[in-house]
Amino acid sequence: MDLYTLLFILTTFWVGPFWFAMLLQPHAAKTAQLMDKQWFFFGPIVIWFAVMLLNPSGLVDFANSGSHPDGFMARMAAGMTSQAGVTAMWAHMVAGDIFATRWIWRDSIKRKNNIWVTRLSVFFGVMLMPVGILIHLIFRKRIAL
């Protein structure tokens, strides 16, 4: 197994305990304690930086992609064809997904949402983040703020 594959897998496994805590025990004190700190997205961010340090040319290519003759999107697509590019993109996506899922979870607890709405929103928060946010926004309880 090469280093980029290992980093890809590690990124995924990092968020697992946080996600499962929000999904399976959303009201538990241990979940609140676990999610109160910023560790939930620390791993994917550190892995993203590690990938950038291992492959600094990728960051340089990204910075120069706006002046590429084929355009920004073509250069971005080319960057995603490497193991480093896919691993960096995955770490970035996972960090965003768990960050958004934490917001869904906190807002669900604050609003005292139905447990199944909370679980469904949290499930999709990591699996398909826009779907998780949409479910949460549609079905969350309205409260006077």
Lookup result for tokens 């080319």? 78
3-state DSSP call for residue 82?
A: coil
35 Cβ contact list (under 8 Å, min separation 6): 18, 21, 22, 102, 105, 106
Lookup result for tokens 């899922």? 101
Taking only the tens place, the pLDDT of each residue in 64-113 is: 666 767 777 777 777 778 888 889 999 999 999 999 999 999 999 999 99
Q: Where are the domains of the chain?
A: 3-139
Taking only the tens place, the pLDDT of each residue in 110-132 is: 999 999 999 999 999 999 999 99
Q: Which two tokens stand for residue 33?
A: 């304690």
pTM of the predicted model over 0.75: yes
Taking only the tens place, the pLDDT of each residue in 9-22 is: 999 999 999 999 99
So what's the pLDDT on residue 87? 92
